[in-house]
Amino acid sequence: MSSKVKLLAPCNAERLVREWKQQGKKVVFTNGCFDILHAGHVQYLEKAKATGDILIVGVNSDASVKRLKGENRPIASETDRCTVLAGLEAVDATVVFDEDTPARIIERLLPDILIKGADWPIDKIVGAKTVLEHGGEVKTIEFLEGRSTTSIIERIIEIYCGKK
């Protein structure tokens, strides 16, 4: 499937989730900013996909990332971030959300499995209550140690500007 086909509007994502579930497929959802994709992201997404059949990645909009991460972020646009994610074998679809949390898109999609990083206790994961109330599961995945977009940005600044 082309990466462009994997970039879904919320209404199309909702329709596809219904179709996939009717086909008996387990739909997995995770989310994040995914600004400057790195090995930790790829490993996390591969592990998320392994928990089900279809992986949908909710991607914070540019405005949402700016509110969460600061005025200088994101580095890559939401379109670029979705295109890169959609190019990964593990990712079946991406959907952008503009809120600071994915609560509304999770309510719309009602995935079978909600995945978040293991640094989040399940009772604090946005959307967990909704997924559990609809018979789904909530799981956490360990991150690849020492990988983060922030550390990549800091390293670039250190190398090219001579400062942190």
- Note the pLDDT tens digit of each residue in 25-42: 999 999 999 998 999 999
Give how far Cα 49 sits from Cα of 26, 29, 78, 88, 160, Å. Answer: 10, 9, 21, 11, 36
CB 33 within 8 A of CB 65: yes
In a domain, 40, yes or no: yes
For residue 2, tell me if it sits in a domain: no
Confidence of residue 20 (pLDDT cuts 50, 70, 90): very high
Is residue 157 within 8 A of residue 164, CB to CB? The reply is yes
> How many whole angstroms separate alpha carbon 152 and alpha carbon 41?
13
Domain span including residue 148: 7-161
Statement: residue 145 has pLDDT above 80: no
Task: Please say whether the dihedral angle defined by the alpha carbons of residues 93, 47, 143 and 132, taken in this order, is positive or negative.
Answer: positive
Indicate which CATH number applies to the domain containing 68: 3.40.50.620
Report residue 29: phi and psi, to 5°.
-130, 135
Residue 35 domain-assigned? yes
